[in-house]
Structure 1
C-alpha cells in the first residue's frame, strides 16, 4: 500500500466517528442546559455514524421528525452493543443496532423491541455495502482461507461474526478455528495494513476506502448469507414503549418517511453521509449504498437467529415475536 493512501485512510478513520448531533441544536436555557421547543418532545437516538444510518440524518434534515412532533438529537457510538445500555438506562430513547445484538440482548433479559427497520443488504454478492477485506498482497485469496486466521468486527458476537463464519464454512473452510476480535470500523483498515489482524469485516464508507487504498474484498458476506437480510433496526426498551406509545408511534412515522426518502434519492443519501463522516465527495460517489427497507424480512432474520444458535452466539432459538412487536 502506498504511504499516501495509508495516510488518506488514516484521515478518514480519524474523523468518521466524530460525535454528531442534530444540525440545529436547541438553544440552552439560563442554566446552560438544552431545551426543546415547547411544542416538540425531545428524543435522543444513539447510532453508529456509517452509511447504514443515513436515513435518520436525512429525515432530520428534511424536517420529518419535527413534523411528527419530535425534537431529535443524534448521538454516536462504535457499536449497537454500546448503544443498548444507554437505551435501557433511559439516556437514549431510541437506538440503532444490528439485529443479532438485539436478539442477544433479549436473551439476556434486557427487554428491547425493534420499532423500525433501518438497513438491509443489497443482495449483490459482487458489490455490497459490507464485506470482508484483506491486504491487497495478502496470500488470503478466498474466504475459506480465513480458517485459523484473525478477523475483526466492530463488536464480537454480532451479526458480522455469524455471517463471516457462515461464509467460511460455505466455502469449505473451518470457521471454528477463526479468531474474532473487536476493532472499530474506522480503525480496521489500519489494523489490516499493519498486520495486527488478517482480515476485517467493514461496512461503507470503509469498504470503498479499503478498495481505493489497494486492499481487496474476499467476501460480501451479508449478501452471500441471504439476499434479503436486514442488518440492523432502530429499537427502544419495552418499558419506554409501554410508557410512551404516542412518542414511539411518532418516531415510527418519521422513520418510515426517512427510509422512503433515502431509498428513493441516492444523491441525497451520499450528500448527507458527508455531513457526519466528512468523507470526500470522490469516496462518497463510489460507495455502495445499502437498501433502506420499511419492513424487516422475518424469514431472513429467522435464518440469522438459527445460525447464531449454531455458532454459539445464542443459546436457544430466539423469540422473534418479542423483538418484532
Structure 2
C-alpha cells in the first residue's frame, strides 16, 4: 500500500531553546558570493521560462528518486525543462553550491536547510520531496549487545552522519516524548562505514536510513530505537533548496521545476510496484531490498506544516534561534 503525506494538525510545542551562534565562515562566504551573482538569462515575461536548462545536485537514494523519475518519465520535458542531475556530497555542500550559483537546485534535508538559513545562508526551500516512512530510520546494535532500548543509551557512543540533522534531532525528540533522560555521545561516521563501526566496536550504536538500514538487518543487527515513532511520524525530511538570487531571477523556471516534481511524485504513488522495480537502476541497492524497503512519504505539494514542525523541534533543542520563522524560508510562486 503506498502512502502520501496527510495534512493533519500537530500539537503546538513550546519554543524555549537558546539562540545558536553567529554566522559560520562557510555560510558567510556563500552569502557574499551570492549577493554578487550575475543574471541567468533573459526574462521569461508572462509565464515564460527565464531559462530552460537547469542543474540540480542530488544523491541517488530512494528519498530523492523523484528527480530521476521526473527525468526519465518526461515530467521535466513536459514543463520545457532540460535538467542535469549532478552528484553532491550531501545537503550542507549542496546548499553552499546553490547559494553561490554553482547549482540551480539541490536536494537537502529540512534540518540542514534550517541550520543554514538560521546562520544567514541565502537559500529557500523551493519544493518538498518526501517524509520518512514508518520503520525507515532507526538505531541498532550488535545482537549480543547489552543495550536493549533507548533508556540504556546514556553515555553510549552513537554513530551519526552529521550532527544537528535527522538522526540526533529525531532521537532527542523521541526521548523527550517518551520522558527518557539520556545523553549519548554522537560521533560523525559516514553511512557507508556505520555498520562496520558497530561490528568492530568502535561505536556502540549505529544510525541509518534506507537503504543502509536494510543492509544492517541483513547483517544481523538488532534494532533498539525506531526513530519514526511519536513526534517523528512521517516527519518532513527531504526537500529541494535553491538560492534566493536564483529564485528571484527565475520564478517561472522554479515554479515549473516544482510542478514537475509534484507530478512525478503523484505518478510514483500511483505506480508503486513499477517504482520498486525501477529503483535499483538509479540507487545502489539490490532488487530484493527495493521490494522490501519502506516507501518514502512522497510530497505532492509544499508541506509547510511539516516544515514548521521540524523547525519547532530544532528550536526546542536549541539548534536554531528562538525567533526562527520557517515560513520566511519557503519559496512560493506568485499567483
- Give the conservation status (yes or no) of the 8 Å contact 2:141–2:206: yes
Aligned to 1:149: 156
TM-score normalised by structure 2 residue count: 0.78
The separation in 2 between residues aligned to 1:317 and 1:147, in whole angstroms, is: 31
Instruction: Select 2:109's aligned residue among 83, 92, 98.
Output: 98
- Among 285, 291, 297, which residue is 2:291 paired with? 285
Q: RMSD of aligned C-alpha atoms?
A: 2.0
Corresponding residue SS for 1:196: coil
Q: Gapped runs of 5+ residues in structure 2?
A: 1-50
How many residues are matched?
A: 282
2:120 is the counterpart of 1:109: yes
Aligned match of 2:224 = 218
Post-superposition offset of 1:296: 4.3
- Distance of 1:169 and 1:198 partners within structure 2: 21
Partner of 1:165: 172
C-alpha displacement of 1:75: 2.0
- Which of 46, 64, 69 aligns to 2:80? It is 69
Runs of 4+ in 1 over 6 A off after TM superposition: none
Shift of 1:110: 0.8
Report the alpha carbon displacement of residue 95 of structure 1 after superposing the two structures with TM.
0.9
Match of 1:318 in 2: 324
Could you tell me the TM-score, scaled by structure 1's length? Answer: 0.80
| Aligned 8 A contact 1:189 1:210 in 2 | yes
The question of whether the paired residues in 2 share the 8 Å contact of 1:129 and 1:207 is answered with yes
Separation in 2 of the partners of 1:160 and 1:295? 25
Asked if 1 retains the 8 angstrom alpha-carbon contact of 2:262 and 2:301, the reply is no
Structure 1 gap segments, 5+ residues each? 1-39
Structure 1 residues 246, 296: CA separation in 2 closer, same or farther (over 3 Å shift)?
closer
Measure the CA separation in 2 of the matches of 1:78 and 1:182. 15
